[in-house]
Structure 1
């Protein structure tokens, strides 16, 4: 394999270019922030290395030798490549960028994040595109490490350990939905009704539901699961036309209740809360494009911008903390 000659100091190329610009050792030294003696020493090293005077003095000033003239174009290209490709952080202009960001979310997280995010991007970065995928527990971290995913948003407890950064937006909780004119549940859901009625449950990948199930089991609360489905989006139609109860994240309940045929109810126990976060891999931690995206997410989704906090307070009180199922 061809290697770069270790004996050659490529900083000497900067000396060569500066001398060509100024045709004076003192001026070249000033341009580069060097002492005159340092610049003269570097020029001597370059002459020795190349066995060529490089620049010669004439009555009109220093002029390059034929070999130097041949070298200058290449020297400028090399210095520019090193500066732009290695030393300078690449610029990112969202207003003109046509980048595509690859995000990982569950379908309920799409309800939470995508409408506001896309409206925001249309205003400040109209040519940026977004693709969203839903990954299993087994494949998610691999996709994040490989760069297949730029950012993960939502509740993903499996994303921890070395190499993965995270930022919390806020905490979130759960509520119930049942159909209007339910034959048993009339505006308030009791624990007796909750345990006696049938339930629809969203299954994997639904990490927040798995968390809820484990927390309820610890307190001896066992639901009568009549339906298990992997899809949130079919849930409203199912609940509207049956007597089943669904217990899902509050944001999903609030969104589904807008259809007008569902009741949004508090759970008959104080539900646990879970963190809503963004996750990224350390390989993109300092990349301007990724830093910009994370900044937009943090701007849009945080404690002060939590649009479901008012509903949460109405259901469970202003002092709700939900860290533990009680």
Structure 2
């Protein structure tokens, strides 16, 4: 078996079905001499003539007949289990999709995504998690995580694909009762106010902090917290100001007593993207989820 050429088996099957070497050659898109050579190799390997020329064409020997059924099974399994394209049906899938998101990402993406899954993939579910950059890279590679959606500048390896969704910038939050009435705050007011600062794991917030450092802007920090979710309640009940990604601020304004004001300087926007490992680029479920996210959030 170590030296047996399995590529000869489909040729034997074609000769059996066509009952001629020339017919097998046409079916396999090979030359007739090439089929004859292959048949001779198979005869030599098995020690049997396999096909005998008769008035009715090339008739199989008993030894050839023992090859036909298992060869058909092998070819069918190859086509259905190996070569056939995966068909993903969102309506019937029970797959759990794992997505790496920051808490900002959850607020931005999950409400709309869950609503879409409820409609198009009602039996599917989502696991949202947060990981350190090195852990996330490994998790995407081994399939533990399907997608990383948000701001992940560390996923630059050539083994990762990425797709830009939209650009994001920052907005300032004030209590709705704050005496400031303009849609934009001045740099003097920004520096005079007490600030609530989020020291979270999300890399996007680091962009704002780095911007301030480059511009040598020093705020009067009254509160530092690692939690975004406490910010709307803290701002609503105080005279503090906080600067957060715009989508986060817009979400907070929907359910808390806060208002949005533009910051006093132009903060460079950043891109939110979805990232996936090249191993799963052709995976049907992964491709479907990527298409859904791109459709809903691309701008």
Same fold at TM > 0.5: yes
Question: Structure 1 residue 106 and structure 2 residue 102: aligned?
Answer: yes
- The residue number in structure 1 matching 2:65 is 69
1:78-93 equivalences under 5 Å are: 78-93=74-89
Question: Structure 1 residue 232 and structure 2 residue 253: aligned?
Answer: no
Question: Structure 1 residue 124 and structure 2 residue 96: aligned?
Answer: no
- The residue number in structure 2 matching 1:20 is 16
Q: CA deviation at 1:61?
A: 4.5
* Of 171, 194, 207, the match for 2:190: 194
Question: Structure 1 residue 290 and structure 2 residue 291: aligned?
Answer: no
Q: How many residues align?
A: 298
Q: CA deviation at 1:155?
A: 0.8
Distance in structure 2 (CA, Å) of the matches to 1:43 and 1:49: 10
Unaligned stretches of 5+ in structure 1? Answer: 304-326
Q: CA deviation at 1:258?
A: 1.0
> Which SS does the other structure have where 1:258 is aligned?
helix
1:92-171 equivalences under 5 Å are: 92-171=88-167
Q: CA deviation at 1:131?
A: 1.3
Check the 8 A contact 2:197/2:242 in 1, yes or no: yes
Distance in structure 2 (CA, Å) of the matches to 1:254 and 1:129: 26
For residues 35-83 of structure 1, the C-alpha deviation after alignment (integer angstroms, 9 at most, x for no partner) is: 3333222222211111112233455554433332322232223223333
Distance in structure 2 (CA, Å) of the matches to 1:156 and 1:224: 29
Distance in structure 1 (CA, Å) of the matches to 2:61 and 2:95: 47
- The residue number in structure 2 matching 1:252 is 248
Residues 242 and 137 of structure 1: is their aligned pair in 2 closer, same or farther, counting only changes over 3 Å? Answer: farther
TM-score, length basis structure 1: 0.83
- The residue number in structure 2 matching 1:41 is 37
Distance in structure 1 (CA, Å) of the matches to 2:67 and 2:222: 79
Q: More deviation in 269-278 or 230-239?
A: 230-239
For residues 174-210 of structure 1, the C-alpha deviation after alignment (integer angstroms, 9 at most, x for no partner) is: 001111112x533453322222222222223121111
* Of 237, 242, 253, the match for 2:238: 242
- The residue number in structure 1 matching 2:180 is 185
Check the 8 A contact 1:137/1:205 in 2, yes or no: no
For residues 88-120 of structure 1, the C-alpha deviation after alignment (integer angstroms, 9 at most, x for no partner) is: 433333333332221101111112112222223
Question: Structure 1 residue 8 and structure 2 residue 4: aligned?
Answer: yes
Distance in structure 2 (CA, Å) of the matches to 1:12 and 1:98: 41
TM-score, length basis structure 2: 0.90
> Which SS does the other structure have where 2:255 is aligned?
coil
For residues 256-305 of structure 1, the C-alpha deviation after alignment (integer angstroms, 9 at most, x for no partner) is: 111251111111222221111111122222333323322222222222xx
